[in-house]
Structure 1
Amino acid sequence: MVDGDGVPYDSAWPVDRERLRHHGDVDAQPGMLDFAVNVQGSGPPAWLRDRLAARLGELGRYPSAAEEQAARAAVAARHGRASDEVLLLAGAAEGFAMLPRLGSAGAAVLQPSFTEPEFVLREAGVPVTRVLLPPPYTLDPALVPMSADLVVLGNPTNPTSVLHPAERILALRRPGRILVVDEAFIDAVPGETESLATQSLPDVLILRSLTKTWALAGLRCGYLLGAPDLLARLNHGRPHWPLGALQLEAIAATAEPAAVAESRSRAERLAVHRLAMSARLRSAGVHVHEPAAGPFLLIHVPDAELLRKRLADKGIAVRRGDTFPGLGPGHLRLAVRPPAAVDRLIAAIHDVGL
């Protein structure tokens, strides 16, 4: 079906704010083998823990403007940008929460994708057009209504693991339109292929997260890259000291050249694990959506909810997929894990059946 702009939509997928707010951490209880959450590892590497621990004695004072500037400068150098093109965030989720400040008269959100941007825009009363990309979930700029003055998409996209070509994303640019690209998972792509982070464009905002690669979900660290005037609009009204000393330390530390090199190595290792995991799943009779570029795989099985519950009974958590607009009751998302964890998953699938 199409709306008045000729844009595909799914009348069987109504706006359900509770489903839009469902995230993978709900599916993973303590002690379970976690394929539901895309964080890599149980905590940050030792060198990063040591950096953070060294700052604990300073928590009795407020973060200084110099510390904030140093972190911004580190991020700017990492991406070849100016410091005033960086806005530090208490997690990428804070960046999404800021989007209504752009004053959109009509936003387009590409789905299936991370649902938080659609949720916050709707909660703020911004008119939202949900643009559903049909399988294989590749980007077609012609599907986005010309009337949209704000367009939000992910690259690579959660949960489909599709990596959109940069030139196709840039084809969404229009006079009077702001383009927001969620690159929360692109540091898990070897070489950060198709990233727009190094391009200084007046109408493009790039959102980055440190949560996944560096296992910092509990610390809430991220940043936006974009034109200074856009960042100023997003930053307007924030409280004083929006980030603490440990957040600033983590952002600065993971932007340093040695950390960027480690991130690249992690991405290359993850790509190997993803290929191996995909092959194991297919051999078990599971349909895997490919090509995949992110640290997760979208799968389809006859009864995803039944499989999810049976795996949970065996202590294995997987992420339900039916809360993503455009996906159905047969979809699940699985975080990419090392071979030993995949062995347990495959054994459990064989045991409980599809």
Structure 2
Amino acid sequence: MSSSIEELARANVRKLTPYQSARRLGGNGDVWLNANEYPLAVPFELSQNTLNRYPECQPKQVIERYAAYAGLQPDQVLVSRGADEGIELLIRAFCEPGKDAVLFCPPTYGMYSVSAETIGVEYRTVDAQEEWQLNLPAIAERLDGVKLVYVCSPNNPTGNLIKPEDIRQLLEMTRGKALVVADEAYIEFCPAATLTGWLQEYPHLVILRTLSKAFALAGLRCGFTLANAEVIALLMKVIAPYPLSTPVADIAAQALSEQGVAIMKQHVKEVLANREKLIADLRECDCVEKVFTSETNYVLARFTASSAVFKTLWDQGIILRDQNKQPGLSGCLRITVGTREECDRTIEALKTLPGASDSREQA
């Protein structure tokens, strides 16, 4: 029976490799540094008791508060079940399966390909250049038939910003042809780099945001798509009738209040201080070959014998994110910035591991 059921599924779904989220990978740790979450809970509680009624499709208070926070008008904001739903809504609204394509530049976030494959839309990749910047000439050669170009900045998992002048060139070459989707999931850690101020100049620019990272609400699953009103109106045609549950809208509105934003900014200050100490400490570990610059709440590092490092820490309950399968990231592990105690425990574990010269001597 199971084989016949599988044959009923779409061919692209049968072939699909699902996105391996941090929770899907499992683990029995007590130091979770693999999902880029804020390490502590936030002090919000449910205030509404209207679960017998359907929620608003686009909760007015959430939309208005996020628009004010982002410096935009309410008709430029759409709220969804995480930024992941925004990724998918754009493909559903703008890409014809079997005809159009999306493009992105690995190493980068894995859901761009999964969403495209799920819907049956071709995805094209142009590997990033040195320091993970855009290869604009190669992108230009592959734009025929592309409707969406996803650019993650700061980029996950590398942590770097994409040069604004390169994004501007990309916007110019795609004008009238495709949308450029800037994924700003981590922008609160480098707010000056946001592209929201470019929306008026570029009607085909779209920006993705989330409450999962700096707002410390990964479990809420609440994200935002920022764009010109014409784009938002098209996305509203394909979004689910009730994308946000009443409890999600309730907490999101609190997080976007004046007090909630102040709490977020304090979290960011703490994370940035912990990040700088973590980077400095990582550079003192023999098993670390290179630590990359980060504009986010995580750090990418290249290790000697990274698989052994990953397993050793896993066995000690310290869960990191293995990036070895990503293009150009051989030997790399991504480490979320946790509490000071969690970072210190990670460094203590790493300092017991041999470095490159020690590994060669033991071979």
TM-score range, shorter chain: 0.7 to 0.9
Q: Which deviates more, 83-92 or 344-353?
A: 344-353
Change over 3 Å in CA distance of 1:164–1:257 after alignment to 2: farther
Pick one of 149, 152, 162 that aligns with 1:151: 149
Partner of 1:10: none
Distance 1:212 1:30 in 2: 22
Deviation track 1:195-249 (CA, whole Å, cap 9, x = no partner) reads 0124323101100010122332222111100022222322323332221112212
For 2:95, which of 103, 107, 130 is the aligned residue? Answer: 103
Report the counterpart of residue 293 of structure 1 in structure 2: 295
- Does the 8 Å contact 1:149/1:178 carry over to 2? yes
Identity %: 26
1:193 Cα deviation from its structure 2 partner: 1.9
1:191-270 equivalences under 5 Å are 192-200=191-199, 201-270=202-271
Q: What amino acid does structure 2 have at the position aligned with 1:72?
A: I
Report which stretch shifted further, 299-308 or 153-162.
299-308
- Shifted more, 203-212 versus 26-35: the winner is 26-35
Q: Does 1:327 align with 2:329?
A: yes
The 5-angstrom pairing of residues 298-317 of structure 1 reads 298-317=300-319
Unaligned runs of 5+ in 2: 1-14, 356-363
1:19-98, aligned counterparts within 5 Å?
21-27=19-25, 29-43=27-41, 45-46=42-43, 49-50=44-45, 53-55=46-48, 57-64=49-56, 68-98=59-89
Q: Is the partner of 2:131 in helix, strand or coil? A: coil
Which amino acid letter does the alignment assign opposite residue 294 of structure 2? A
State TM-score, norm by structure 1.
0.85
Following superposition, the deviation at residue 28 of structure 1 comes to 5.2
Matched, 1:122 2:117: yes
Compare 88-97 and 225-234 and name the one that shifted more.
Answer: 225-234
| Cα distance in 1 for residues equivalent to 2:76 and 2:270 | 31
- Spell out, residue by residue over 1:4-43, the C-alpha distance to the aligned partner (whole angstroms, 9 max, x if none): xxxxxxxxxxxx953x612233445354211111110242
SS at match of 2:59: helix
What SS does structure 2 have at the residue aligned with 1:351? coil
Label 1:119 to 1:58 Cα distance change in 2 as closer, same or farther (>3 A): same
Secondary structure of the corresponding residue to residue 152 of structure 1: strand
Q: How does 1:154-169 map to 2 (within 5 A)?
A: 154-169=152-167
Q: Please identify, of 230-239 and 278-287, the stretch whose mean Cα deviation from structure 2 is larger.
A: 230-239
1:132 alignment counterpart: 127
**Would you say the 8 A contact 2:129–2:135 is kept in 1?**
no
In structure 2, distance between residues paired with 1:154 and 1:83: 24
In the alignment, the residues of structure 1 paired with residue 206 and residue 154 of structure 2 have an alpha-carbon distance, to the nearest angstrom, of: 15
Q: Hey, what's the Cα distance between the residues in 2 that align with 1:78 and 1:30?
A: 37
Unpaired runs of at least 5, structure 1: 1-15
Tell me by how many angstroms 1:352 deviates.
Answer: 4.0
What amino acid sits opposite 1:54 in the alignment?
A: S
Secondary structure of the structure 2 residue equivalent to 1:87: strand
Q: What is the rounded CA distance, in whole Å, between the counterparts of 2:55 and 2:64 in structure 1? A: 16
The CA deviation string for residues 34-78 of structure 1, in whole angstroms up to 9 with x for no partner, is 1111110242x21xx23xx222x332322246x712211111111
CA 283–303 in structure 1, closer or farther in 2 if over 3 Å, else same: same
Contact 1:33 1:317 in 2 (8 A): yes
Distance, in Å, in 2 between the alignment partners of 1:338 and 1:313 is 20
User: TM-score normalised to the size of structure 2?
Assistant: 0.83
Structure 1 runs of 4+ aligned residues shifted over 4 Å read none
Q: 1:269 to 1:30 in 2, by over 3 A?
A: same
Tell me whether 228-237 or 308-317 shows the greater mean CA deviation. Answer: 228-237
Q: For 1:238 and 1:161, how far apart are their aligned partners in 2? A: 30
